[in-house]
Amino acid sequence: MSGPTGPWSTDVREASITRRTRETDITVSLRLEGGPVDISTGLGFLDHMLVSLARHAGLGLRLTCAGDLVVDDHHTAEDCALALGQALDQALGDRRGIARFGHAYAPLDDALARAVIDLSGRPFASVDLGLRRERLGDLSCENIPHVFRSIATAARLTLHLDLLRGENDHHRAEAAFKAFALALQQAVAITGNDIPSTKGTLT
């Protein structure tokens, strides 16, 4: 991973993460400037959401996970999110030149989601999706907000994510991932050559 080489320019920002525990074995390759997207977590709905996140954020993302799905989906969902957040943090480096802030609305038919991001270096997430179903495909709905919180923790970002309306839980969840993606794309964009903080650091 390299930082900006001059005003309004940057080298490729990328990171590779390996996370192995007794519960999961994960590899992540992330490129903020785009690239191939290939996701295989063992959870079809999580794959669908992470592909959507990568595509709409303009990321190159390869993520594979072998998890203890014989137990349940929690460890896989949580650890994939932590590894992705860690890769994002590593790819951002000292966060020099980034826009830092991003906000977006994303509709999907009946659903409308709003995401606001600050790549502040301070982990915080307020996530209110109002999902009503127990599961979406093979992913427990309670784990969907947990995915966002885990990304925020590991990436050291502040996230406010809300579902403003919607009836269909698939639409609600997907709109949330798309709004997060669009806001993230804004926040990681290179807009200058300074660290965007009055403190002089985002670490």
pLDDT digits (tens, 9 = 90+) for 175-187: 999 999 999 999 9
- Predicted confidence (pLDDT) per residue in 106-125, tens digit: 999 999 999 999 999 999 99
Beta bridge partners of residue 164, listed in sequence order: none
Question: The whole model's pTM is what?
Answer: 0.93
What is the model's pLDDT at position 10?
A: 53
- Number of C-beta neighbours around residue 9 at 10 A: 10
Structure tokens at 153: 């923790």
CB 138 within 8 A of CB 43: yes
- Predicted confidence (pLDDT) per residue in 28-87, tens digit: 999 999 999 999 999 999 999 999 999 999 999 999 999 999 999 999 999 999 999 999
What is the model's pLDDT at position 203?
A: 77
Please report which confidence band the pLDDT of residue 14 belongs to, taking 50, 70 and 90 as the band edges: very high
CB 87 within 8 A of CB 15: yes
Please report which confidence band the pLDDT of residue 140 belongs to, taking 50, 70 and 90 as the band edges: very high
Lowest mean pLDDT among 106-110, 153-157, 185-189, 195-199: 195-199
Over 60: is that where the pLDDT of 1 sits?
no
Which domains can be identified in the chain, with CATH numbers? 14-188 (3.30.230.40)
Structure tokens at 10: 């940057």
Task: For residues 87 and 76, give the distance between their C-alpha atoms in angstroms, rounded to a whole number.
Answer: 16
